[in-house]
């Protein structure tokens, strides 16, 4: 028994020596697993109250790198645009184009037309985004007419019956309607359903300020591109522009009230109240500038009004760029109005009708039958993601991305996404250290931030990922920073 304490002391000494040796050999604590490090990024205060849905998968092996609530519903914001663009490419093909005919009912002598009609196709590209300038699309139509020899048009009409006359989605917030976020959708529109307004302060405080539509809107006798009523006053020279609009889809006139600084000149972009009506008036101005007199204008909104085209001659057709260019025009800058135009086009092309219901129904069938996505993994209300009633799971988005990437146009699809350093894209100033390695779709509405797409790691692995956040209650910049930190960590650490 006397030897027992000695044995205990010896054992204790050996354990102590072993412990010291271990610390010396390691030097620093072992790094935490990747999942724990991502968890810490997404949970650091004040993000601990945010709901997160994340799925990251290796494209080659199918291995799940990280997941967090991958099968729960989240409001996706503009990640919704991934649906309408992928479905459109899958249904119509990457080289599909809109075609907008220009018809004329000629009178004897061929220099006058009883009616000149544009048959709206839903083409969303008649804007400076795809043309050299804001007035160029209308000038192109006018040039086609002038080249045909027509010099007098009794009535200029646009047929917009391809789309239903519901111009604003019923699930959008009223506050989105006056600006360029949610202009009215139409089978024919110019400048993405918007117009520019110049607000000019008076020479001194108290004087009336003026509001002028740019560029000149219509031919003499036709009326303004967009009726407006402005009550603007001039404030002190350093005062900032402040104004509010009274805008509803049921009213033709936009009412503005506010103030601006003395001598100040500001330009704002607003939504028109009637996209087709504004477009036909702008076309009348362009025709007048090309030497073609127009007596009156009109809009044919339903099929019965349009009637048949017997006796009308086609004098020209304007074609859009290929669909892949349109998809890039939607995804890279996150263009809402174009996404809605494309959604209604899907409904019209599938035979379901050029409406939100027809477009969403077409999307639903494609997602289930072609992309293999569970019908309970999504709920869709629009094409842009403005609606807070849209729901998607991270797993559904990843599956959709992988579906598109695997098709013959997959590389063009990836290239159509936003990317770090890409001018005009929503990632132009984000994740700049990953230029050339990230192509993704951003998404932001109140209390929602998202990013989904493709990432190439430092070791060359290609990952498909979807990161969705809801209910943060904090500025979106803080949430985006956490998303970007997660993507950067994945790029460094995934082997």
Per-residue pLDDT tens digits for 285-294: 999 999 999 9
* Span 377-385, average pLDDT: 98
Confidence of residue 29 (pLDDT cuts 50, 70, 90): low
Check whether residue 112 and residue 55 sit in a common domain: no
Check whether residue 119 and residue 71 sit in a common domain: no
Check whether residue 244 and residue 368 sit in a common domain: no
Residue position matching structure tokens 């192509």: 439
Inside any domain, residue 354: yes
Cα gap 339→412, rounded to integer Å: 18
| Phi–psi pair at 252, nearest 5 degrees | -75, -35
- Domain boundary among the residues 319, 334, 363 is at 319
Query: Which residues span the domain enclosing 190?
Result: 99-319
Answer yes or no: are the C-beta atoms of 320 and 342 closer than 8 Å. Answer: no
Question: pLDDT tens across 78-87, in order?
Answer: 999 999 999 9
* Span 228-243, average pLDDT: 90
- Domain boundary among the residues 284, 319, 354 is at 319
Cα gap 400→90, rounded to integer Å: 11
* Span 153-157, average pLDDT: 97
Residue 20's CB: how many other CB atoms inside 10 A?
10
Check whether residue 297 and residue 354 sit in a common domain: no
- Whichever domain contains 449, its CATH number is 3.40.710.10
Check whether residue 377 and residue 489 sit in a common domain: yes
Structure tokens at 406: 């695997």
Lowest mean pLDDT among 184-193, 239-248, 362-371, 467-476: 239-248
Cα pseudo-dihedral 28, 32, 38, 42, rounded to 10: -80
Confidence of residue 252 (pLDDT cuts 50, 70, 90): confident
- Tell me what pLDDT residue 467 has: 98
Confidence of residue 24 (pLDDT cuts 50, 70, 90): very low
Inside any domain, residue 413: yes
Check whether residue 60 and residue 188 sit in a common domain: no
Inside any domain, residue 8: no
- Which has the closest alpha carbon to 343: 88, 73, 105, 169? 88
Cα gap 222→279, rounded to integer Å: 12
If 0-12 CB within 10 Å is exposed, 13-18 middle and 19+ buried, where does residue 286 land? buried
Inside any domain, residue 226: yes
Question: pLDDT tens across 389-407, in order?
Answer: 999 999 999 999 999 999 9
Check whether residue 465 and residue 380 sit in a common domain: yes
* Span 323-331, average pLDDT: 98
Q: How many domains does the chain have?
A: 2
Check whether residue 61 and residue 76 sit in a common domain: yes
- Domain boundary among the residues 274, 297, 319 is at 319
- Alpha-carbon 71 to chain mean position: 25
Answer yes or no: are the C-beta atoms of 73 and 480 closer than 8 Å. Answer: no
Cα gap 116→150, rounded to integer Å: 10
Residue 214's CB: how many other CB atoms inside 10 A?
13
- Tell me what pLDDT residue 310 has: 82
Provide the CB-side half-sphere exposure for 403 (13 A, CA).
21
Q: What 8-state DSSP symbol labels residue 241?
A: P
Check whether residue 283 and residue 423 sit in a common domain: no
For residue 13, pLDDT beyond 80:
no
Check whether residue 182 and residue 283 sit in a common domain: yes
Q: What 8-state DSSP symbol labels residue 272?
A: -
For residue 449, pLDDT beyond 80:
yes
* Span 39-59, average pLDDT: 96
Provide the CB-side half-sphere exposure for 64 (13 A, CA).
13
For residue 490, pLDDT beyond 90:
yes
- Tell me what pLDDT residue 224 has: 86
b/e per residue, 47-86, with b = 16+ CB within 10 A? beebbbbbbbbebeeeeebbbbbbebbbbbbbbbbbbbbb
Inside any domain, residue 341: yes
Question: pLDDT tens across 132-141, in order?
Answer: 998 899 999 9
The overall average pLDDT reported for the chain is: 91
Answer yes or no: are the C-beta atoms of 32 and 46 closer than 8 Å. Answer: no
Inside any domain, residue 115: yes
- Tell me what pLDDT residue 400 has: 98
For residue 259, pLDDT beyond 50:
yes
Inside any domain, residue 423: yes
Q: In the chain, what is the greatest distance between 2 CA atoms, to the nearest angstrom?
A: 130
Structure tokens at 175: 């506050």
For residue 39, pLDDT beyond 50:
yes
Cα gap 25→19, rounded to integer Å: 10
Distances in Å between the Cα of 34 and the Cα atoms of 40, 65, 83, 490, 494 are: 10, 9, 30, 8, 8
| Phi–psi pair at 101, nearest 5 degrees | -75, 150
Check whether residue 89 and residue 106 sit in a common domain: no
Confidence of residue 28 (pLDDT cuts 50, 70, 90): low
Inside any domain, residue 22: no
Q: Give kind and range of the element (H or E) at residue 416.
A: none
Q: 108 CB contacts (<8 Å, ≥6 apart)?
A: none
Check whether residue 91 and residue 138 sit in a common domain: no
| Phi–psi pair at 468, nearest 5 degrees | -120, 135
């Amino acid at each position: 028994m006397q030897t027992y304490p000695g044995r205990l002391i010896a054992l204790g000494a050996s354990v102590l020596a072993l412990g010291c040796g271990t610390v010396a050999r390691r030097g620093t604590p072992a790094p935490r697993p990747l999942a724990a490090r991502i968890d810490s990024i997404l949970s650091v205060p004040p993000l601990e109250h945010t709901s997160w849905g994340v799925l990251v998968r290796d494209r080659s092996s199918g291995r799940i790198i990280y997941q967090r609530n991958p099968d729960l519903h989240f409001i996706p914001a503009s990640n919704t645009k991934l649906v309408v663009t992928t479905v459109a490419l899958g249904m119509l093909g990457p080289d599909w184009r809109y075609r907008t005919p220009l018809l004329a009912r000629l009178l004897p002598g061929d220099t006058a037309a009883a009616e000149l009609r544009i048959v709206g196709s839903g083409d969303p590209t008649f804007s400076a985004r795809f043309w050299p300038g804001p007035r160029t699309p209308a000038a192109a139509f006018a040039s086609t007419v002038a080249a045909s020899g027509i010099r007098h048009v009794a009535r200029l009409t646009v047929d917009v019956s391809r789309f239903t006359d519901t111009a604003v989605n019923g699930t959008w917030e009223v506050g989105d309607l006056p600006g360029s976020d949610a202009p009215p959708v139409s089978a024919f529109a110019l400048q993405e359903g918007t117009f520019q307004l110049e607000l000019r302060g008076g020479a001194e405080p108290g004087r009336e300020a003026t509001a002028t539509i740019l560029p000149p809107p219509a031919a003499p006798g036709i009326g303004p591109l967009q009726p407006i009523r402005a009550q603007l006053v001039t404030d002190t020279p350093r005062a900032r522009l402040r104004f509010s609009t009274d805008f509803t889809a049921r009213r033709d006139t936009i009412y503005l009230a506010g103030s601006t600084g003395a001598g100040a000149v500001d330009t704002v972009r607003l939504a028109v109240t009637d996209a087709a009506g504004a477009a036909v008036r702008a076309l009348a101005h362009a025709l007048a500038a090309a030497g073609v007199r127009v007596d009156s204008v009109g809009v044919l909104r339903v099929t019965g009004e349009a009637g048949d085209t017997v006796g009308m001659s086609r004098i020209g057709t304007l074609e859009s760029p290929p669909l892949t260019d349109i998809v890039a025009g939607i995804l890279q800058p996150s263009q809402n109005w174009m996404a809605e135009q494309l959604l209604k086009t899907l409904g019209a092309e599938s035979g379901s009708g050029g409406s939100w219901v027809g477009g969403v129904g077409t999307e639903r069938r494609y997602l289930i039958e072609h992309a293999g996505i569970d019908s309970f993994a999504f709920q869709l209300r629009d094409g842009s993601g403005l609606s807070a009633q849209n729901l998607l799971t991270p797993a559904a988005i990843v599956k959709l991305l992988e579906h598109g990437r695997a098709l013959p146009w997959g590389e063009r699809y990836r290239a159509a996404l936003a990317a770090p350093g890409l001018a005009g894209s929503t990632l132009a100033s984000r994740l700049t250290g990953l230029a050339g390695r990230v192509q993704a779709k951003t998404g932001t509405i109140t209390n929602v931030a998202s990013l989904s797409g493709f990432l190439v790691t430092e070791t060359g692995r290609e990952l498909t990922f979807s990161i969705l956040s809801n209910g943060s209650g904090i500025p979106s910049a803080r949430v985006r920073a956490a998303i970007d930190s997660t993507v950067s960590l994945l790029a460094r650490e995934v082997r």
